[in-house]
Amino acid sequence: MFPKKLLAVFVIVCLLFTYTIPLAHADELDQINKELSELTDALNKSIAATKPLESQLQSLASQIDGIKKRVGGIEADLAEKKKNIDKGYVTMEKQQNIFNRTVRDFYIKSYYNSPLLTFLSGASAASITKVLAYQQVVANRDKAIITNIALSIADLEEKSALLKSEQKKLIAAKLTLDEQSKKLDEVVKGAKAYQQQVSTKIAELSQKQQEILNARSGGFTATIGDSDLADDYNASIKGFREAAPAGSFAAFSFGAYTHRKGMSQYGARGRAQAGQDAKAILKAYYGREPVGKDTGGTIKVAGFGEMDFEGKYLLGIAEMPSAWHPEALKAQAIAARTYAYRYKTEGKEICTTEACQVYNDGKAGNPPDAWRQAVEATRGQVLEDVITYYASTHGGFASPIGWDTTDGQGGGNFTERSYDKLGGSPWLYKAWYRKGYTNSGDSCDRANPWLSSSDMADLINGAMVLYGGGNGDETGRITPTTTSCWGGNPYSQDELRSVSDKYGGGISAVTLVSVIQGNGQTNEVVFQTDKGEKRLAGDKFKTAFNLRAPGFLSIPQSGFAFYNIEKK
């Protein structure tokens, strides 16, 4: 019989499965808190009902495993017996011929070897005695052969019958064992499935609770639509939602390699396309309007020596496509002129890379007409008392203006209202897994930026060690496991899980994630894991991510991190 206690637990589990989450009414937060309390209580009752029997369940499982092993031994023994019996029958076919022949000869000899016929033969007494003795020996031999073969046949038949009986009992025992195993599995699976179901509901309600708290405290959870496409399908939210395996995660950055200071170039394009002129664009991003200055003379350019500031250097600035809106090009010309003007007036040499601003000598010698016109139309115009930083895409937020959106507001689906979006930025919301901007950059043999539940758990474990008090020996090995690209001696995921356990980690799986956004930065990331809820500051998780993520996965932003974690 299956233990009554286990059946009782199974009934409790079935009853608990009927619990459903009530609908939220007047005060959503209060209702969610109530539902969380009820669900947590139900979960605790389920665990309390099953936990005392866990050792018994484990004992039964061990007993069943032991019985299965013994059954396996019996099956092997019966198989060996059957093999021997089968061999016996093969041998018996030969013995049967001997048996038949011996019986026949015995009866024939019994007739011809009659003592009376021997006496009547007229032979001497000595001869008669010898003949009779020989006949007796032959008869005894034949009797022995007949008897032994007959006994062998009887023994073989008895063993065959016993084997059939044992096989029948074994089949019955296996059926009973399978039935008991099935009942045990049903109890265990029923309890675990219910507990997982309630845990998932608790996690979902906790996430909803966090969203409400975020809204009341000024934070928010970003809402991203499918239209925010990156220039790489697998790195876009659309590609992630369509192609990534269920349960996958990915880190999406708001903006590209950006400091979010000053002008967003795609934002400037979006503003120009929305009808703003260069002055309005510059005012929006820098809080200044251009003034006229004497910008004649030369500037020192690294690798090229001195050259005419307006007539050559500015014509070679390669920071914005010449096909863009003329007002965006003018705004770029004034920003580039202002940035370089400091170097010119101070007599300093300016570099020609993104560390300063990109200069192309070939473009300077033969500039596109649209860019030449933008430079000439704004000759001498600069912005005072400001360093005109700019970057391709700020991700919807820029310093010092704040939200770079059509309504000047953040929250919710701010990306849909951002000027980066209007300008068609391919990097507004993207997961980065290659070196640099290009889609042909090294990816360390990764086809996408997607992460599994265990991968995400590994990143959290790394953060727990980094910020939980791990010493130098422990933190020094928190590097990418992809040593083919990075080298070093990183922890394996199992090793890092073990190290992080003493710092509150030891996580194996992540089920849900909620990201709390602030003003142009990620405030906090909240994970629901197999070890409970784990909360990490946005900048700390970004650091752990960039240290430990495999391949070239990164959150490529300087200063405050502004990103989102998506789960499919």
The verdict on residue 8 lying in a domain is no
Does 543 lie in the same domain as 463?
A: yes
Does 315 lie in the same domain as 299?
A: yes
Question: CA-based angle 410:415:416, to the nearest 5?
Answer: 110
The verdict on residue 246 lying in a domain is yes
Does 467 lie in the same domain as 562?
A: yes
Phi, psi of 537 (to 5 degrees): -60, 145
The verdict on residue 11 lying in a domain is no
Does 230 lie in the same domain as 310?
A: no
Q: What is the pLDDT of residue 17?
A: 40
Please tell me the total count of domains within the chain. Answer: 3
Three-state secondary-structure class, residue 425:
coil
Q: What is the pLDDT of residue 151?
A: 62
Does 289 lie in the same domain as 245?
A: no
Does 548 lie in the same domain as 447?
A: yes
- Longest distance between any two alpha carbons in the chain, whole Å: 163
Does 363 lie in the same domain as 267?
A: yes
Residue 269: both structure tokens together? 């394009």
Measured N-to-C along each axis, helices 493-500 and 453-467 cross at an angle, to the nearest 10 degrees, of 40
The verdict on residue 38 lying in a domain is no
Contacts of 106 (CB under 8 A, 6+ apart): 139, 142, 143, 146
Q: How far is CA 267 from the centre of its chain?
A: 34
Residue 423 CB coordination number (10 Å): 24
Does 285 lie in the same domain as 222?
A: no
Q: What is the pLDDT of residue 359?
A: 97
Residue 11: both structure tokens together? 């009934």
Tens digits of residue pLDDT in 109-123: 555 555 555 555 555
Instruction: Select from 423, 305, 324 the least CA-distant residue to 368.
Output: 324
The verdict on residue 405 lying in a domain is no
Instruction: Select from 497, 563, 481, 490 the least CA-distant residue to 529.
Output: 497
Which of residues 331, 353, 388 is at a domain's end?
388
Q: Within the chain, which residues score under 50 in pLDDT?
A: 1-2, 4-26, 132
The verdict on residue 423 lying in a domain is no
Cis peptide bond N-terminal to 22, omega within 30: no
**Consecutive H or E run containing 523:** strand 522-529
Does 450 lie in the same domain as 361?
A: no
Does 474 lie in the same domain as 545?
A: yes
Does 60 lie in the same domain as 194?
A: yes
Tens digits of residue pLDDT in 197-228: 766 776 666 666 656 655 555 677 777 876 56
**Distance of alpha carbon 232 from alpha carbon 427, whole angstroms:** 10
Report the phi/psi class of residue 275: left, alpha or beta, with left for phi > 0 and alpha for psi in -120 to 50.
Answer: left
**Do the beta carbons of residue 277 and residue 327 sit within 8 Å?**
yes
The verdict on residue 398 lying in a domain is no
- Domain span including residue 196: 53-216
The verdict on residue 411 lying in a domain is no
Does 275 lie in the same domain as 244?
A: no
